Structures are given as C-alpha cells and as structure tokens.
Amino acid sequence: MAKGNILIVDDNKSILSALEIFLIPEFQTITTLSDPNQIPTELRKKEYNLVILDMNFNAGINTGNEGIYWLGRIKESNPETSVVMITAYGDVELTVKALKLGANDFFLKPWDNNKLLATLKSALQLNWSKKEVTQLKEKEKGLKTEINREQKFIIGSSPQLMQMLNMVRKVAKTDANVLITGENGTGKELIAHEIHRLSERSQEVLVSVDMGAITETLFESELFGHVKGAFTDARENRPGKFEVADKGSLFLDEIGNLSFHLQAKLLAAIQNRKISRIGSNQTVSIDIRLICATNKDLESMVREGLFREDLLYRINTIQIEVPPLRDRGNDVLVLADFFLKKYSSKYNKPNLRINQQAQDKLLKYQWPGNIRELQHTIEKAVILGDGNVLKAEDFLMKPFHSEKASETELTLEEMEKRMINLAIEKNNGNLSAAADQLGVTRQTLYNKIKKNG
C-alpha cells in the first residue's frame, strides 16, 4: 500500500464507487466528493497528496471549463498537491490547457486499471518530491538565521571550571537531555554551544530559543511553525525551531520563564518527538538533542506549582551547574584581559593594560552579574579611561556588592565612598554631574576620589 491521501471528485457516483473500490487496496486514504463546491472545505480539513478531478460536472456540458476552474482553485491554495484530470471526452487542446495550468496527467473514461494505477503512483511520487524540496528550502531559510554567529570561547582554568568542563565532555557524546543551571551572566549559552560542538551532531545546527522573549501568542508558531493562512499574518509556510533543529541540537534558554499551560505543549513535543505546524493536521517527526538552561530553582517552582514535575524530569537527565564568577579565582583576571583586548581593538585604543591596584579591585569584587557584568565593566573602563594604563578608579562597580561589611558595620568613611561611587556610576563617569548630585563642588569631589583611591 502506497502512503498518501487521495481525493476523488466526480459528479457520477458510480464512477466514485468504482474508483474507490479499485484504489482502496493501493493507497492509504481515499475520500470521494460528488459536489466540487466542497473542494475548498475538504482541502482545509485534510492535507491531500493527490486529487483525481473530473472535467465536467453538469449534464450536457462537455467543454471541460468546470474542471479547468477547479484545477486552478486547487493549485492556488495547494500548489504542491498533484492533480490528475479525468473525462469521458478526449480533446488534445483541452489536455494541453490542463497540463499548462498544473495538471500532472490526464486519462479517459473508461480506463485501463494498470495504466491508471501507474499514472496515479507517478503523480503521488511527484507530490512527495515537491514536498521534500519545499521542506528543504524552508529548513535552509530557517538555517540562514542560525549560521555565521560570532564564535565564542570558554576562558579560564580554575578547578571549578575544569570540573564542570569535564562533565560537559562526558555528556556531550550522548544524546541525553541536559539542563544547565547557574546565575545570570555565568555563560550558560556558552556551555550549550560547547556540548553541541563536542557532540555527534556537531555538523548540524544548534538552534537557540530565548523562552523568556517569546510571547504566549507566538509560542506555538515560533517552536512548531505554521502553514500559509493559519492566521492573519501567516503569509507563507514557516518551519518552527523544532523543525529547523532536526538532526541537530535545540537550546531552550530561560525555560523557567515558560508559563505553566504552555509547558504541557512543550512536554508533548519532547515526549512524542513529533510536532504539527499551526493550521496543519500533518505531524512531523523531529530528531533533536535537547539542551535547556535556567537561572531559577525549578525544583522549588515544582513545589510551588509553577513548573510541571514531569517536564522537569524530561529536560533534566543530566544537570550541569555553571559556577559563579566570584568562585573562579584568577579566572576574573584572565577574562578581564580577554575583554580588554577585544574592546581595545574595537575602540582603537591599543596597548592598554590594567595596573595592580585595579586588578586587586577586580578580584575583591563579588560580581553579582558574573561574566556579563565583568564584560560591561571592562568596556566602560576602556571607553572612559585616559592613557594606556587603566587604574582602579576607571572601573565603576556596584559598591553594594563589592563591600563585604553589612549595613550596620559600615563606617562613615565607607558610607561616603559608597555614595560617591553610586553618584559617579549613575552619571556615567561625569564628575561635574556627580558633584551636583552630591551637593559638593567638583574640586571637593575630586579631592575625595583621590583620598579614597
């Protein structure tokens, strides 16, 4: 039995019955219509691979114009569907016209069973070929947005980082689902890229999706895709992220931000490894390696009824915890040097270096924003710094995190330093504006900065 859904449209019910009886053993699904006006509704209900279409539907009219009209309607709404015309009247000119308008073939009543079967199987094969080409084109279009990304590196040699990377290497060779956890800015996406790079799927694409950035109304369209006309703005067929990632890896970042009722739809796709585009009844099998990441405590969210326990089990075959920057020791300076070279080149300030006092300041700071905060701090220092040496005062960090003393233990001098730092940071390094905010002269502010180092 050949796979495929076939629709037969003919006003002669005897013809419909004969064709249905003959074709049922040969094909997957046979549907018959005696009224051509039902064609649009039927094509919206189900995806048909092949339509057998009569040329004439009114007694005494043999022009074939009705068949030509419905052929045009079918090809307009379903261009990939194969159409084979059937009529009791042979007409070369009519045959040529139908073929030019997109018909795949043409045969007469009464028919030869063997020839008819060969014609239909050929038309069906053409449909499959067209669909395959279309899917490849759509996937290629989706891939264009995923390639040529900036290459990123995992930098550092601290024991905490090495221990985590050792686990990454072990997990990467498997197809196990991985959950990457850690604070904001620790580099969870970098770890996802490393897992994919070391995996058996490295020659395929890694598709990244920020779950926190997808609105609920666009969730299904983004992940599962849609067909043309599925909703107001669906002007063309579009594959979802699951289809684009087929044979490769799918990275769902910030999965803890996904609303509870959408988690069920994600779970179904992960469990069944099948999806359906919006507006289509056809299921598409997907073969992906799933990697998720979050900065949230999903187990606590499960207890609070905010995250599905069954989904957590599905995505959490292996959990990898990315260490915060404050626990990585001298990696802070290694990363600072990397970002210094990057932004020195970007802002045309060659030969920059960080002096010892500034290095000590970077090491003592707690980095609540982790690597992302360090990157922004270095960039600001490169932009605002004068000369080839960056000093401690060139690095503007949040004092609430850099001071270990509690609020009640702060001295008057420490409070003054904290207020000055906040004012300078708030005014983006503009000392005149900071002085105005603090209610002192610019010279007084400069003297206090010099006094406090």
Does a structural domain hold residue 146?
no
Asked if residue 218 and residue 313 are part of one domain, the reply reads yes
CATH, residue 264: 3.40.50.300
Q: What is the pLDDT of residues 56-66, one digit of tens each?
A: 876 556 667 88
Shared domain for 86 and 39, answered yes or no, is yes
Are residues 437 and 304 located together in one domain of the fold? no
Whole-angstrom Cα distance, residue 275 to residue 288?
A: 12
Residues 229 and 302 in one domain: yes
Sheet architecture: strand order including 105-108: 27-33, 2-9, 50-54, 82-87, 105-108
Res 90: pLDDT: 61
**Backbone φ and ψ of 352, nearest 5°:** -75, 145
Is a pLDDT exceeding 50 seen at residue 205?
yes
Indicate which CATH number applies to the domain containing 432.
Answer: 1.10.10
pLDDT at 152: 67
Give the pLDDT of residue 61: 61
Give yes or no: residues 197 and 312 share one domain.
Answer: yes
Among residues 395, 415, 430, which one ends one of the domains? Answer: 395
Within a domain: 56: yes
Q: pLDDT per residue over 380-399, tens digit each?
A: 999 988 889 999 999 988 76
Which residue segment(s) compose the domain that 410 sits in? 403-453
Which of 271, 302, 323 terminates a domain? The answer is 323
Check whether residue 314 and residue 337 sit in a common domain: no
Confidence band for 147, pLDDT divided at 50, 70 and 90 = low
In this structure, the number of other CB atoms found within 10 A of the CB of residue 49 comes to 25
Are 344 and 429 in a shared domain? no
Same domain? 297 vs 260: yes
- 187 with 259, same domain? yes
Strands 274-276 and 283-285 come out as antiparallel
Cβ(184)–Cβ(370) below 8 Å: yes
Distance CA 392, CA 356 (A): 9
Any domain includes 151: no
pLDDT for residue 145 is more than 60? no
Confidence of residue 323 (pLDDT cuts 50, 70, 90): very high
N-terminal to C-terminal alpha carbon distance within the chain:
84
Examine residue 431 and state whether it is found in any structural domain, yes or no: yes
Q: Are strands 225-226 and 238-239 parallel, antiparallel or unpaired?
A: antiparallel
The answer to whether residue 154 sits within a structural domain is no
The answer as to whether 152 is a domain residue is: no
Tens of pLDDT, residues 401-435? 434 444 445 567 777 788 888 888 777 778 888 88
91: pLDDT confidence band, cut at 50, 70 and 90? Answer: low
Tracing tokens 């469990």 back to the chain, one arrives at 271
Token pair listed for 430: 């503009």
Residue 286's pLDDT band (boundaries 50, 70, 90)? very high
- The residue with tokens 């051509």 is 36
Examine residue 352 and state whether it is found in any structural domain, yes or no. Answer: yes
Helix locations, 304-395, DSSP H: 309-315, 331-346, 356-364, 370-384
Nearest CA to 89 out of 100, 81, 98 is that of 98
For residues 358 and 407, give the distance between their C-alpha atoms in angstroms, rounded to a whole number.
25
Q: Are residues 347 and 225 in the same domain?
A: no
Q: Which residues of 311-343 are buried (b: 16+ CB within 10 A; e: fewer)?
A: bbebbbebebbbbbbbebbebbbebbebbbeeb
Q: Which of 297, 323, 349 is the last residue of a domain?
A: 323
The CATH number given to whatever domain includes residue 367 is 1.10.8.60
Q: Where are the beta strands (DSSP E) in 66-172?
A: 82-87, 105-108
* Mean pLDDT of the region 226-248: 88
Q: Is 156 helix (H, G, I), strand (E, B) or coil?
A: coil
Say yes or no: 315 and 340 in one domain. Answer: no
The pTM assigned to this predicted structure is 0.62
> Is 109 in a helix, a strand, or coil?
coil
Mean per-residue pLDDT, 79-86: 89
Both 60 and 169 in one domain: the answer is no
Question: Which is it for the CA torsion 311, 312, 317, 319, positive or negative?
Answer: positive
Domains identified in the chain, total number: 4
149 occurs within a structural domain? no
pLDDT of residue 405: 42
Which helix H or strand E contains 252, and what residues bound it?
A: strand 249-253
Residue 175 amino acid letter: D
